[in-house]
Amino acid sequence: MQAEINAFKLKFATLQSKGLPSLITSSGKLLTHDQYVNRVNTNVSNQITASSSSTEEIGPPFGQSLYDKLENLFYIEHEINHLFEV
């Protein structure tokens, strides 16, 4: 069982390095599911707002730039789905 816990921690650490928020509160406790969903949604909103407010591009994103902006979000969603497979 410890090996599975360590594997989960390793996978989750990889996702956190790509921008997924922490599961731990500031007091060191685990978040509830609802609190974590809220945190993830806030994080995604902040990423979208930050990317849309950048002055790099004028006009709507397309092609490679759109892919680059959304790649991390899709990767995280995909990995979360596999991480919590039953």
Digit-coded pLDDT (tens) for 22-40: 888 889 888 888 888 888 8
pLDDT band at 14 (very low <50, low <70, confident <90, very high): confident
Question: Sorting pLDDT into bands at 50, 70 and 90, what band is 12?
Answer: confident
Cα 21 to Cα 32: distance, rounded to the nearest angstrom: 13
Question: How many Å separate Cα 5 from the centre of its chain?
Answer: 20
pLDDT digits (tens, 9 = 90+) for 45-64: 887 777 665 555 555 556 66
Question: What whole-number distance in Å separates Cα of residue 49 and Cα of residue 42?
Answer: 10
pTM over 0.75: no
Q: Where are the domains of the chain?
A: 2-83
